[in-house]
Structure 1
Amino acid sequence: MRRRTFLKGTLLGSAATALPLSALAEGTAAAAGTVTVGSIAALQSAIDAAVPGDRVVLADGTYTVPSAGIRVTGKHGTTSAPITIVSASRGGAVLNGPVSFLLSGSSNITISGFAFRQTTTLVVPADCPRIRLTRNDFKLADSAGLDWVTVRGDDAKIDRNSFHHRGSQGIFLVVDGPGTTAMAQRTHIFRNYFADHSYTGANGGEAIRLGVSHRALSTAGAVVEYNLFERCDGDPEAISVKSSGNTIRHNTLRDSKGGIVLRHGNATTVEGNHVLGGANGVRLYGNDHVVVNNHISGTTSRGLVIGSGTTRDHHAGETTEQRRGNDACDRAVIAHNTLVGNSATISGEDRAYGPRDVVVADNILVASGGTLVNVPAATGFTWQGNILWGSAADGTIPSGGFRRVDPLLREDSDGVHRLTAASPAVDAATLTSLTLTEDADGHARGGARDVGADEYAALAPVRRPLTPSEVGPNAA
Structure 2
Amino acid sequence: MRNSGPESSTPREILATPAVSACHPPRTDHTLAAPPPPRTPETPMPSLGRRTFLSAALATAAIGGTSSARASTRATQVRTVDELRRAIAAAQPGAEIVLADGTYNVTGSQGIPIQGRRGTASAPIIVRAASTGGATLAGDRGFVLTDSAYVVLSGFKLRQRTTLDIPTTCKNIRISRNDIQLADVEGMHWLMVRGDNAVVERNHFHGKSTLGVFLGVEGPGSAGMARGVRIVRNYFSDHTFAGDNGGEPIRLGLSGRSLSDAGAIVEENLFERANGDPEAISVKSSANFIRYNTVRNSLGGIVLRHGNKTRVEGNFILAGSNGIRIYGNDHLIVNNYVERVSGSGIVLGSGSVRDHKPEDDAESRRGNDAPDRVTIALNTVLSSGTAISGESQRTLPPLGCTIADNLLVGDSGSLVSMPYQQGITWSGNILWGAAGNGNIPASGFTRKDPKLVAGNDGVRRLGAGSPAIDAASRTYASVTQDADGQARTGRADVGADEYNTATPVRRPLTPADVGPASR
TM-score (norm 2): 0.87
The match for 2:403 is 360
Q: Tell whether the 8 Å contact from 1:17 to 1:474 is kept in structure 2 after alignment.
A: no
The match for 1:66 is 107
User: Deviation of residue 447 (structure 1)?
Assistant: 1.3
Q: For 2:414, which of 371, 374, 382 is the aligned residue?
A: 371
The match for 2:492 is 449
How many pairs are equivalent? 463
The match for 2:92 is 51
User: Deviation of residue 70 (structure 1)?
Assistant: 0.4
1:210 has 2:252 as partner:
yes
1:278 has 2:324 as partner:
no
The match for 2:435 is 392
Q: Tell whether the 8 Å contact from 2:321 to 2:342 is kept in structure 1 after alignment.
A: yes
For 1:68-83, list aligned pairs within 5 A: 68-83=110-125
1:414 has 2:457 as partner:
yes
User: Deviation of residue 33 (structure 1)?
Assistant: 2.1
**SS state of the match for residue 446, structure 2?**
strand
Q: Tell whether the 8 Å contact from 1:356 to 1:378 is kept in structure 2 after alignment.
A: no
Q: How many angstroms apart in 2 are the aligned matches of 1:9 and 1:51?
A: 32
Q: For 1:111, which of 135, 148, 153 is the aligned residue?
A: 153
User: Deviation of residue 276 (structure 1)?
Assistant: 0.6
Q: How many angstroms apart in 1 are the aligned matches of 2:73 and 2:499?
A: 48
Q: Tell whether the 8 Å contact from 2:304 to 2:327 is kept in structure 1 after alignment.
A: yes
Q: How many angstroms apart in 1 are the aligned matches of 2:194 and 2:478?
A: 33
The match for 2:299 is 257
User: Deviation of residue 11 (structure 1)?
Assistant: 5.1
The match for 2:35 is none
The match for 1:466 is 509
User: Deviation of residue 381 (structure 1)?
Assistant: 1.4
User: Deviation of residue 22 (structure 1)?
Assistant: 3.4
The match for 1:5 is none
Q: How many angstroms apart in 2 are the aligned matches of 1:342 and 1:411?
A: 17
The match for 1:232 is 274
Q: How many angstroms apart in 2 are the aligned matches of 1:433 and 1:454?
A: 14
**SS state of the match for residue 280, structure 1?**
coil
User: Deviation of residue 20 (structure 1)?
Assistant: 2.6
Q: For 2:68, which of 22, 28, 31 is the aligned residue?
A: 22
Q: Tell whether the 8 Å contact from 1:428 to 1:451 is kept in structure 2 after alignment.
A: yes
Q: How many angstroms apart in 1 are the aligned matches of 2:239 and 2:42?
A: 26
1:344 has 2:390 as partner:
no
**SS state of the match for residue 408, structure 2?**
strand
Q: How many angstroms apart in 2 are the aligned matches of 1:157 and 1:9?
A: 15
Q: Tell whether the 8 Å contact from 1:32 to 1:54 is kept in structure 2 after alignment.
A: no
Q: How many angstroms apart in 2 are the aligned matches of 1:111 and 1:127?
A: 17
- The code of the aligned residue for 1:321 comes to E
Deviations 1:262-281 (A, max 9, x none): 00000000000000111001
Q: CA RMSD in A?
A: 1.7
Q: How many angstroms apart in 2 are the aligned matches of 1:32 and 1:171?
A: 39
Q: How many angstroms apart in 2 are the aligned matches of 1:11 and 1:127?
A: 32
Q: For 1:291, which of 312, 322, 333 is the aligned residue?
A: 333
Q: How many angstroms apart in 1 are the aligned matches of 2:67 and 2:196?
A: 26
Task: For structure 2, list consecutive stretches of 5 or more residues without a partner in the other structure.
Answer: 1-37, 45-61
Structure 1 residues 76 and 250 mapped into 2: Cα distance closer, same or farther (>3 Å)?
Answer: same
Q: How many angstroms apart in 1 are the aligned matches of 2:436 and 2:226?
A: 45
- The code of the aligned residue for 2:358 comes to A
Q: Tell whether the 8 Å contact from 2:475 to 2:491 is kept in structure 1 after alignment.
A: no
User: Deviation of residue 413 (structure 1)?
Assistant: 2.9
The match for 1:28 is none
User: Deviation of residue 312 (structure 1)?
Assistant: 0.7
Q: For 1:42, which of 55, 70, 83 is the aligned residue?
A: 83
Q: Tell whether the 8 Å contact from 2:273 to 2:298 is kept in structure 1 after alignment.
A: yes
Q: Tell whether the 8 Å contact from 1:13 to 1:475 is kept in structure 2 after alignment.
A: no
**SS state of the match for residue 113, structure 2?**
strand
Q: How many angstroms apart in 2 are the aligned matches of 1:223 and 1:11?
A: 16
Q: Tell whether the 8 Å contact from 1:32 to 1:53 is kept in structure 2 after alignment.
A: no
**SS state of the match for residue 400, structure 1?**
helix
For 1:132-151, list aligned pairs within 5 A: 132-151=174-193
**SS state of the match for residue 160, structure 2?**
coil
**SS state of the match for residue 386, structure 2?**
coil
Task: For structure 1, list consecutive stretches of 5 or more residues without a partner in the other structure.
Answer: 1-7, 26-30
**SS state of the match for residue 465, structure 1?**
coil
Q: How many angstroms apart in 2 are the aligned matches of 1:282 and 1:222?
A: 18
**SS state of the match for residue 376, structure 2?**
strand
Q: Tell whether the 8 Å contact from 1:13 to 1:471 is kept in structure 2 after alignment.
A: no
Q: How many angstroms apart in 2 are the aligned matches of 1:276 and 1:320?
A: 35
- The code of the aligned residue for 1:189 comes to I
Q: Structure 1: which 4+ aligned runs deviate by more than 3 Å?
A: 8-14, 16-19, 21-25
Structure 1 residues 270 and 341 mapped into 2: Cα distance closer, same or farther (>3 Å)?
Answer: same
The match for 1:3 is none
User: Deviation of residue 23 (structure 1)?
Assistant: 4.9
Q: Tell whether the 8 Å contact from 2:379 to 2:496 is kept in structure 1 after alignment.
A: yes
User: Deviation of residue 308 (structure 1)?
Assistant: 0.3
Q: How many angstroms apart in 1 are the aligned matches of 2:69 and 2:377?
A: 45
The match for 1:244 is 286
- The code of the aligned residue for 2:505 comes to V
Structure 1 residues 264 and 420 mapped into 2: Cα distance closer, same or farther (>3 Å)?
Answer: same
Q: For 2:478, which of 432, 435, 456 is the aligned residue?
A: 435
Give the stretch that moved more between structures: 363-372 or 216-225: 363-372
Q: How many angstroms apart in 2 are the aligned matches of 1:88 and 1:433?
A: 48
- The code of the aligned residue for 2:120 comes to T
Q: Tell whether the 8 Å contact from 1:22 to 1:86 is kept in structure 2 after alignment.
A: no
**SS state of the match for residue 108, structure 1?**
strand
Give aligned-pair identity as a percent: 53
Give the stretch that moved more between structures: 31-40 or 240-249: 31-40
Q: For 2:212, which of 170, 185, 192 is the aligned residue?
A: 170
Q: How many angstroms apart in 2 are the aligned matches of 1:100 and 1:355?
A: 46
User: Deviation of residue 66 (structure 1)?
Assistant: 2.1
Deviations 1:419-459 (A, max 9, x none): 00110001111112543110000111011211100001111
Q: How many angstroms apart in 2 are the aligned matches of 1:391 and 1:23?
A: 60
**SS state of the match for residue 275, structure 1?**
strand
**SS state of the match for residue 117, structure 1?**
strand
User: Deviation of residue 9 (structure 1)?
Assistant: 9.5
The match for 1:101 is 143
The match for 1:191 is 233
Q: How many angstroms apart in 1 are the aligned matches of 2:318 and 2:284?
A: 24
Structure 1 residues 432 and 13 mapped into 2: Cα distance closer, same or farther (>3 Å)?
Answer: closer
